[in-house]
Structure 1
Amino acid sequence: MFRLVSRLARTGCSSSTHFGAIRSLSSTATFENIIVDTRGAKANVGLIQLNRPKALNALCDPLMREVNEALDRFESDDEIAAVVITGNEKAFAAGADIKEMLPLDYKDVAAGSFLSHWDRVTRMRKPVIAAVNGFALGGGCEFAMMCDIIYAGENAHFGQPEILLGTIPGAGGTQRLIRAIGKSKAMEQILTGEKMPATEALQSGLVSKIFPVGQLVDEAVKLGEKIGELSPIAVAFAKEAVNISCEVSLKEGLRFEKKMFYGTFATNDRREGMKAFIEKRKANFTNT
């Protein structure tokens, strides 16, 4: 069973990153800005913990590249059913690293497609759960919204304060927040930079559930384990169908949903699930 055993708590964002293999290979991977592990009774839930505590887990390019590498490896590991991304009790991620952005000018960000690779998490076929304690501001809020489900600790605060820095959200905040909480509330948050506490985020539909701070990650892992009991094929199809609803018309979304639904009839898991229901027993899904 794999563990990425080297856990380095670096406060700076170093671009020197060394990666090894996971689970099936004997070598280990060393990350400088994140902690990677597996959780759950079957070790089938991947855990990525952002680990720049002195910077309140500010997102920088090296950190995001490490996250992408970990996601790639979890994606290719058939034993991983879901992934949980979290920070620490004080901050999920307090935003993008301002010190990294300050020296940049227009040609740097435009020609270099700045932030273009930060959305790798949105292309995961496996479910990704954000477990948010503390601050999820700016890029941190955007990163949480890229995940499929957000669980929040009682001390969580969400916000897009970029306007206070003379700029605007650049990693999806203006697009995903309105889809999550509606135009009026999203516009208020983005134009004022105000923070939204966990209770308000729950009422607005931004998060699914709230838990005590110390229980948050365990509850997110439990959700990953629950999903892991189901057919991975059906889970991937359902996730894709839900996500496309934000990008196409209702008519096109319904057509796509039907296509995915029909697709399940080519799988053994669909047959096993229906057979188990009729026989009143637990289904034995095989991802085939």
Structure 2
Amino acid sequence: MDRNRLRWLPLVVLVLAQIGYPLTEGRDRARLTVATVVLGYLLSVGHALLSRGARTAAVLILVTTGGGWAVEALGVTTGFPFGDYDYSGQLGPKLGGVPLVIPLAWTWMAWPAWLAAVRLTRPGPRRVALAALGLATWDLFLDPQMVAEGYWSWHRPTPALPGVAGVPVGNYLGWLLVAVLLMAVLARLAPAEGARDAADAPMYALYLWTYASSVLAHAVFLDLPGSAVWGALAMSVVAVPLAGALLRPRLPHRVRA
């Protein structure tokens, strides 16, 4: 198998695992959830390592995995910035009240969201803002789905978005705040410059697959129409421009006379 095909193999395995989610239930679904997050984590970290080198991969882990755990531990202890919530015991062992798999999920989606913003914008505050939106809007799918499964819950889940009970609006604002901080640090330490469409294609595909499959799953398989609508609208802010940019041929830079 050539290298071009090999780089797509981890994504194919992840997609197959996610397809199995609606087909399972109970403890099997919880185990599959953990396995899926681990696969997504390895996919993103592995891509960072192979495409940008060990330093970038280490920065990604430190900022998003370490930072993700720190903010989650702060959250379950103090209620800031996501609200007053607790994790159940269904997602495996915990550290500081946080299942060890949870920080991996931050890394899993932070990296493709960051690369999507790199593809769409120039360095600067706009890139950070777009990357933060790319990550934070994913939570409009994630939290309603996980709350519906009983993996975590809020003590005071109001006010909530219309059609999405169980998740307070303040949680999404907390996600946006954390996402801005994470992306601002990545912008300083792992800027990921350069047009690398061929190498980064699996990450673009991961982001677009996550968007499309989440809309489909929530609307059809998981009986979560409210989060299907809210997630489809919010995550399209990055997903639609990314899809459009990939469909358009990249124009060569004009050479000055």
Which category of TM-score, normalised to the shorter sequence, fits these structures?
Answer: 0.3 to 0.5
Instruction: Report the structure, 1 or 2, having the larger strand content.
Output: 1
Structure that is richer in helix per residue:
2
TM-score (norm 1): 0.31
TM-score, normalization by structure 2: 0.33
* Bigger relative CO (Cα 8 Å, ≥ 6 apart): 2
